Structure 1
Amino acid sequence: MPLPMFCLLQKALLLALLCLLAWLPGAAAAQQRILEKAYWTDTSGSATFEQARAAVYTPYSDVLSKGFSRHVQWVRLRIAPLPAEDGDALVLRLRPVYIDQVTLFDPVLLAQGQAPASVGDRTPWESNQFESLNHNLLIPAQTLERYIWLRLQTTSTQLLHAEALTPREMLREEHTLWLVYSALLALIMSFLLWVLMVWLRDRDPVNGVFVIRQMVLLIYTACFLGYHRILLADWVTPAAQDTVYNWLVLFTTGLSVAFEYRFVMEYRMPRASRWLLRALLVWSLLAMALMVLGQTRQSLQTNMLLNGVAVLCMLAVSLRLKRPQASAAHGASYQLPPAVVCGYYVAVLLLLVLNVLPSLGLLSGTLYTVYGVLLYGVVSGFFMTALLIVRSRKAEALRQDTANRLYLSQQQLELETQRRQDQSQLINMLMHELKTPLSVIDLAVKTRERDERTEAYVTRAIDNMKAILQRCVQTDRMVESPFQPAMEALDLTPHLRQWLLDARLPDQRLVLHLPDRAPLSTDAQCVQIIVGNLLDNAIKFGAADQAIEVRLERAEHPTAAWRLQVANVPGPGGRPDAQKIFSKFYRHAAAQRISGTGLGLYLCDGLARQIGATLAYHPTDTHVVFELCLPI
């Protein structure tokens, strides 16, 4: 992960935690108005208020945590006296939101003839006497200590956090709570968007599963905080809302297990570990099956057990993880070090202990117990988002490296293929071109009488063989080891006259149009080879009874240069193909009977580029014209 992005994630998490810490002092102050908390378990579930009032209560602190019990819990709260200047009422705020029903029994209200009031996720949101995301009830304030009783009945885990606040304190607390909740939801949303953007780029299945899980977790978190009760109050009944929330709990856990399963399956692990992970998926399906059968409490309890057992299993599995061996399947992917994965599961385990054990009734609850799921969602989301982004960056680098290696391999393969084709064409050309000179030499050896004519044939055959081999050597040197041209100042006109004289052409076949002087800076040897090949080409493939024109003139546009043109009337071989004329081993079909390598013009074009010149083919209606443009 780039350092700026990682720092941004750190700051976002720190902001959320600061909001949470800023809210906790207010929650602690609210507890000062409740002097004592105690509970009594109604095993029959049918005790009256008078029976509950006379029962023996067990004191507890902070949060009541009785696990998934079928029994009804009665909670007795001793309320501190409230000075007259602080108002005449107190608001009881009850959390978490998912408890089914809490009924208030206040002797003062009962004496006034008011019936017991109930709140919970099975009651309409309007039943709350103070508009809030949480359940709340109003009780009259007294100048003396007194007791009130709450009757708790729920199919979910029996967690209850009760607070007493004045209306002003409640309003301030709610504003703070809204800010904290908004920050947490924004943080979870940011994790979702970051990984979603990464997934849109690389389509990594692990990132895709995380995005789905994070979407469900975001919806679940909003419902856990109570937003759904406000948003759906006018359209969905409380019972339906409760059912939807229960299924969200199951889906969130199931998708979390599925994500962790998909995440670690890219590593090597013992077969037993794979079966253990699959058993966790089956466990999640079992919890859903119980919900379908109407066993809500058993389903939620099974799901809560899965939360604890799954983290322990994932931690145990991570201790045996090994990175996959390099292969075609994993060549472009990246797996985090197993030690990092193990550290992640240790952190998740420590977080869930605060929520799972109290939810099962195995540990006393605290305020963090109520919000343990949120803490898990934020912290685990932060770490997993960071890990997945690091993983995606590394995987992208590996894919890029693999693509570069593949490209280089393809280039090398193409070069090797081209080299083999060139070798094959060279061998075929040599066999074709050397066959005739060798036949002439063989015939001369077998001839008993040797005269000047025979010696001339042999000499010409040897010259042809030398020319063929020399052209092959020159081409190979140009292709395999590009040279540094030896640029020098010279007058091209006398050099051209000497090179044309060396060609030994009859005067009537050569028509020259040369200036008196043609000063320039170039590589004389390269220009000589080019001119020699152009003349040789004109002699071989031009009409034998027509003149060859050589013209040298100065041009000023587009840049100052000397233009050397060699023109001839086409011979029996016809005109060359303009698209292929400078290709290696190209020879016109009608010119196959004429001795040649097919390398001359290819060599000329390459040498021209080496010295900064250009060689072009500009045919006219009557002539084949090659033009060499030499910069001055």
Structure 2
Amino acid sequence: MKDPWRIAMICVTLGLAIALWQAVIYRPPVAGNLMTDAQIAEDASGEMTLPQMQRARFQPTTLPVTLGYTPSAFWFRLSIAPPEDGSPALLSVGLPHLDDVRLYRQDAAGHWQESRSGDLIPYNQRSWKSPRLAFVMAHMEHAETVYLRISTSGSVGINVAAQPLGPALADDLRYTLFHALFLGLIVTSIVLSVTFLFYSHDLIFLNFMVSQSFILAGLVTLHGYASVFLPDQSTSSATTLVGILSGVTGIIFHLHLMKRFQPLRVLFVIGCAFACFEFIAVPLALFSDARIALGLHASVMAAFLPFLGLMAWTARVPASMSLWSLRAIYSALVVSASVWILPQLGIVQPNWMTLNGGVLHGVINFGLILSLLAYLTMRDRRAAEQSMLAMAQLQTERAIQNQSFAAQQNLTWMLAHEVGTSLSVIRMTVAKESMTPRSKSRIDRAITGLDSVIRHCLDADRIQSGHWQISPTRIDLRQILDQVIRQQDLPRLALDRSSVTQAPIDGDPDLVRLILTHVIENAVKYSPAESLITVAIVKSTGPEGFDISVINRHLPGAAPDAHRVFTKFYRDDRVLATSGSGLGLFIVREIVEALRGTVAFHVADGNVTVRIWLQNSTRSSS
């Protein structure tokens, strides 16, 4: 199922190659043709004897010739020259779907000897053991005139040829090879239809499988292969019945398929009437006259196939393929059918394609179903890809919603914790009768913490709403860093001696001060008490600018999650009792990116490093 178009193209190419070979290269026996003259006469009663027919009037004829669907017997008077190498000659007659074929040839004493073949004669009783009907003419010393009597319930084109035995055997091999390839193609289409039925559960493939199975059985019997498998039985009735059933199932399949494309309703109703007439031929073949049944079958198929083309051109809704594909395939089907319909109607003489008209018809059918299979498979693949894309989008939206929900939960929890803690401190302190300096300090810290949380929330809101206004001016990054360090007033916070003395850049002083404050406060809060915190500012070795590094020891236990520290409301579980919003590094990252800088968080050897790079010039942005 991975590449149905490739499978379809390979199979269609093979089918068309076989059809081309049959139409252009392959011909019925002509190599070393020994027939010098052919004449035909009709026995309308079907009961005349050889002496009576010898006195009848024969007319010159060209081969092949259209015969059948009448009670008449047809007699050929043939003049055959002996092979030059002295080998026997082989007189072949086709198609094999002929009820009774008799050869009358004089022996050395001048007596006429009768040899019989045909579908009514079991394979083991024929003189020539082959799916093709033929007679061996041995001991030919001079040109002979022979009579060939043919009676058949139904046939379109009949060909008669005489060859030396060697070329005839070679042609017999080519004949068998050709049909083996084509029958293999039909088997392939059946296997594909079963596979796609299992894959798609579409009943059109079941319908096609049944139709192709009967076509396969019909071709096997029509071309004489059933007699090989049943050597002791007559195959005439089986050939008749299977041929009619292949027409019934074929009409049902085409109507089932055509219904999806919504042709004109009146045409579809007429098509259903064709199916009914074709089905009537089944009981006629079983219980009445096979000739009438086959004649009805041929007439229905001759009218129905062009009618299919008309339905295709009036189809209004593309379904299992595009309308133009449908029309092209059914137009080709009508053209292929004309090679045996027109001779059957007596409009044109039969030709070599008439003898194997079902072959090209089957190839077109095969191309039709392969196009259908490929279309449905590609449609299912596109639907699967769209479903996968929609599923991915739903998963992305779900992840975003989960993140938003988690952020809202974290915000609610943080506000409840921070506001509740600060109010509790204030309430407990105010409840006391006397206000000591220590109490005032506790109130001041609670209010400061609460104010910090509120400011952080407002800063985060301004970032997400895009209300930041950057006002770049010439500033000294080192000078601002010194101010932030002095404001912290912590002995364990030190500036690295390798730091530059001046770091001039174009930046917003308030925003730069804000990100430095957040980074240093984060280092103080998330490091053990009394541990050293080192701040360094150096000239960048890469793009023009300055690198600011803040290094501290992380708290005992697992290191912070470097992949989450810049997300909103992320806080280490070990400092949940400490006042904080979980927004500090989120604000840092957003402001640094707005200043067209970079920020990174690294953990190694028990140390946490936050490194910020700011470029020398910053363009205004919001």
TM-score by length of 1: 0.69
The question of 1:465 aligning with 2:454 is answered yes
Q: Structure 2 matches for 1:469-618, cutoff 5 A?
A: 469-474=458-463, 499-502=484-487, 504-507=488-491, 510=492, 512=494, 514=496, 516-517=498-499, 532-537=517-522, 546-547=529-530, 549-551=532-534, 564-567=550-553, 584-586=568-570, 595-602=579-586, 614-615=600-601
Aligned AA for 1:24? R
The aligned residue for residue 301 of structure 2 is 307
**SS at 1:116's partner residue?**
strand
Aligned AA for 2:132? N
Relative to structure 1, the CA distance from residue 396 to residue 631 in structure 2 (aligned partners, 3 Å threshold; closer, same or farther) is farther
Shift of 1:221: 3.6
Moved more, 411-420 or 30-39: 411-420
CA distance in 2, matches of 1:568, 1:124: 99
Shift of 1:63: 3.9
Aligned AA for 2:16? L
Shift of 1:352: 1.6
**SS at 2:93's partner residue?**
strand
Shift of 1:568: 6.0
Relative to structure 1, the CA distance from residue 410 to residue 310 in structure 2 (aligned partners, 3 Å threshold; closer, same or farther) is farther
The aligned residue for residue 377 of structure 1 is 362
User: For the Cα contact (< 8 Å) 2:485–2:493, is it kept in 1?
Assistant: no
CA distance in 1, matches of 2:150, 2:256: 44
The question of 1:24 aligning with 2:27 is answered yes
C-alpha deviations, 1:192-221, integer Å up to 9, x for none?
Answer: 788899989888765676566556545644
Shift of 1:95: 0.8
User: For the Cα contact (< 8 Å) 2:422–2:449, is it kept in 1?
Assistant: no
CA distance in 1, matches of 2:569, 2:259: 56
User: For the Cα contact (< 8 Å) 1:562–1:630, is it kept in 2?
Assistant: yes
C-alpha deviations, 1:124-177, integer Å up to 9, x for none?
Answer: 33444345431011346474663514142x444475322233334423533443
Relative to structure 1, the CA distance from residue 496 to residue 569 in structure 2 (aligned partners, 3 Å threshold; closer, same or farther) is farther
Aligned AA for 2:118? G
The aligned residue for residue 317 of structure 1 is 311
Shift of 1:92: 1.8
The aligned residue for residue 379 of structure 2 is 395
**SS at 1:117's partner residue?**
strand
Aligned AA for 2:38? L
User: Which of 226, 233, 252 is matched with 2:246 structurally?
Assistant: 252
Moved more, 249-258 or 291-300: 291-300
- Kindly report the root-mean-square deviation, in angstroms, between the aligned alpha carbons of the 2 structures: 5.7
Aligned AA for 1:566? N
Q: Structure 2 matches for 1:28-177, cutoff 5 A?
A: 30=33, 32-42=35-45, 45-55=46-56, 61-69=62-70, 71=71, 73-80=72-79, 82=81, 85=84, 87=86, 90-106=89-105, 108-109=106-107, 116-139=114-137, 141=140, 143=142, 146-152=145-151, 154-157=152-155, 160-177=158-175
Aligned AA for 1:39? E
The aligned residue for residue 13 of structure 1 is 16
Relative to structure 1, the CA distance from residue 604 to residue 258 in structure 2 (aligned partners, 3 Å threshold; closer, same or farther) is farther
Aligned AA for 1:469? L
Relative to structure 1, the CA distance from residue 495 to residue 462 in structure 2 (aligned partners, 3 Å threshold; closer, same or farther) is closer
Relative to structure 1, the CA distance from residue 598 to residue 461 in structure 2 (aligned partners, 3 Å threshold; closer, same or farther) is closer
CA distance in 2, matches of 1:599, 1:207: 62
Aligned AA for 1:378? V
The question of 1:266 aligning with 2:265 is answered no
The aligned residue for residue 557 of structure 1 is none
The aligned residue for residue 327 of structure 1 is none
Shift of 1:245: 4.2
User: For the Cα contact (< 8 Å) 1:102–1:151, is it kept in 2?
Assistant: yes
**SS at 1:105's partner residue?**
strand
Shift of 1:263: 3.3
User: Which of 222, 225, 236 is matched with 2:223 structurally?
Assistant: 225
**SS at 1:319's partner residue?**
helix
The aligned residue for residue 448 of structure 1 is none
What are structure 2's unaligned runs of at least 5 residues?
Answer: 428-436, 538-546, 615-622
User: For the Cα contact (< 8 Å) 1:97–1:134, is it kept in 2?
Assistant: yes
Shift of 1:227: 3.8
User: For the Cα contact (< 8 Å) 1:68–1:361, is it kept in 2?
Assistant: no
C-alpha deviations, 1:492-547, integer Å up to 9, x for none?
Answer: 99986654334x2443xx35594634999x9999997666445434656778xx33
**SS at 1:103's partner residue?**
strand
CA distance in 1, matches of 2:514, 2:569: 18
User: For the Cα contact (< 8 Å) 1:213–1:252, is it kept in 2?
Assistant: yes
User: For the Cα contact (< 8 Å) 2:549–2:609, is it kept in 1?
Assistant: yes
User: For the Cα contact (< 8 Å) 1:493–1:515, is it kept in 2?
Assistant: no
User: For the Cα contact (< 8 Å) 2:19–2:360, is it kept in 1?
Assistant: no
Shift of 1:376: 1.9
CA distance in 2, matches of 1:491, 1:224: 100
The aligned residue for residue 447 of structure 1 is none
CA distance in 2, matches of 1:200, 1:3: 20
Aligned AA for 1:353? S
CA distance in 1, matches of 2:126, 2:512: 100
Shift of 1:117: 1.7
Shift of 1:36: 1.3
User: For the Cα contact (< 8 Å) 2:35–2:80, is it kept in 1?
Assistant: no
Moved more, 358-367 or 121-130: 358-367
CA distance in 2, matches of 1:294, 1:631: 100
C-alpha deviations, 1:7-30, integer Å up to 9, x for none?
Answer: 995687356534543443854974
User: Which of 407, 413, 421 is matched with 2:405 structurally?
Assistant: 421
C-alpha deviations, 1:251-281, integer Å up to 9, x for none?
Answer: 5334433442343333244444554555555
Shift of 1:98: 2.0
Relative to structure 1, the CA distance from residue 615 to residue 312 in structure 2 (aligned partners, 3 Å threshold; closer, same or farther) is same
Shift of 1:119: 0.8
User: Which of 329, 343, 346 is matched with 1:344 structurally?
Assistant: 329
What are structure 1's unaligned runs of at least 5 residues?
Answer: 325-333, 444-450, 555-560
User: For the Cα contact (< 8 Å) 2:64–2:352, is it kept in 1?
Assistant: yes
Relative to structure 1, the CA distance from residue 516 to residue 81 in structure 2 (aligned partners, 3 Å threshold; closer, same or farther) is closer
CA distance in 2, matches of 1:276, 1:413: 54
Shift of 1:373: 1.2
CA distance in 1, matches of 2:23, 2:264: 41
Shift of 1:102: 1.4
C-alpha deviations, 1:559-590, integer Å up to 9, x for none?
Answer: xx99854346589xx99899976654345789
CA distance in 2, matches of 1:318, 1:455: 88
**SS at 1:322's partner residue?**
coil
**SS at 1:24's partner residue?**
coil
Relative to structure 1, the CA distance from residue 547 to residue 285 in structure 2 (aligned partners, 3 Å threshold; closer, same or farther) is farther
User: For the Cα contact (< 8 Å) 2:211–2:249, is it kept in 1?
Assistant: yes
TM-score by length of 2: 0.70
**Identity, % of aligned pairs?**
16
Relative to structure 1, the CA distance from residue 291 to residue 598 in structure 2 (aligned partners, 3 Å threshold; closer, same or farther) is farther
Aligned AA for 2:36? R
